[in-house]
Amino acid sequence: MSEHENRPQHGYPYFPPPAPATQTPTPAPRRRNGRFTALIASTAVAAALVGGVGGAALVGLEGSHSTGTTASTASGQSVSATTNTDVSSVAEKVLPSVVQVNVTTRQGKAIGSGIILSPDGKILTNAHVVSGATAVTIALSDGTKYQAGVVGADPKADIAVLQASGASGLTAATLGDSSRLKVGDQVVAIGSPGGLQNTVTSGIVSALNRKLSDIGTGEPNPYNQTANRATDSPSYTAIQTDAAINQGNSGGPLVTMTGQVIGINSALYNPSSTSTGSVGIGFAIPINDAKTIINQIENG
């Protein structure tokens, strides 16, 4: 989700190396006045939230692994070059459904990403992206901006739903089925890492069902400076990907090569507490889990 508010230990979760010494992943901070802070409370997890304001951010088709070089789409967006030239087609299809989430808190400003759920401006993002928000503005891929309010949020699941004021005719994303994902499937991540809106990266599904609460067990809690219980860690099991995810990506989509959203980019692993960049280990909330929370928020 680099793009989080200036709040101590909040933002994109990053996970520490598994051995020999156990390290804890911490949420990736959202971007605030040039500084990043962690935005989600968790005990055993040392993953860094990928959202901007509160974090970095999202049906599984098989594909090839990213080459790590960059290319440019016809619209000028930056895209990681892969052996599959369809990445540009995916970007063209999905970019109109991705927004940048600009948040103001008492500590300053932060940036994250979001996914358009309906033409009238319902937006899906990470709870850590809008944590402590006093004002929220969303920016469409074409630069159009709307004020937005938080309909509801589930910090434990790290899911939040926003509503843009006066919006209409927006391009809603197509939500896929994350249960059909397989390790090795090619995926594309879209968001605003470092505040760079409309950034596209690609890679593969590296692993499934990663329990963030099991990572770095026993290490200091990177999400909450006071809590130190396993129950404070994120409750979801994540999709692991090597698609580059950085602070500001939080709340953005992880999609298949058909453009279906199968995850919400939420965390990144970082072996160093002083480093905030992607090391090829990112995590996304499965969209099937998100659908359940969205329904609870809207009808709860």
DSSP bridge partners of 278: none
Q: Which of 148-157, 237-246, 274-283 has the lowest mean pLDDT?
A: 274-283
The three-class DSSP label of residue 290 is helix
Considering 42, 80, 128, 202, which one is annotated as catalytic? Answer: 128
pLDDT in tens, 91-105: 999 999 999 999 999
Our answer to whether residue 214 is catalytic in this structure is no
* Token pair listed for 101: 């989430």
pLDDT at 264: 97
Considering 250, 266, 278, 289, which one is annotated as catalytic? Answer: 250
Averaged pLDDT score across all residues of the chain: 74
In SS3 terms, 116-137 reads as ECCCCCEEEECHHHCCCEEEEE
The three-class DSSP label of residue 172 is coil
Q: What is the arithmetic mean of pLDDT over 33-58? A: 37
Domains, the chain, in order of start with CATH, read 30-299 (2.40.10.120)
Considering 154, 158, 185, 232, which one is annotated as catalytic? Answer: 158
C-alpha distances out from residue 56 to 5, 199, 295, 297, Å: 11, 12, 23, 22
Q: What is the arithmetic mean of pLDDT over 188-210? A: 95
pLDDT in tens, 250-260: 999 999 999 99
Among candidate residues 90, 73, 77, 39, the one with its CA nearest the CA of residue 247: 39
81 has a pLDDT exceeding 60? no
Our answer to whether residue 4 is catalytic in this structure is no
Our answer to whether residue 168 is catalytic in this structure is no
C-alpha distances out from residue 52 to 6, 12, 104, 175, 253, Å: 10, 8, 11, 22, 14
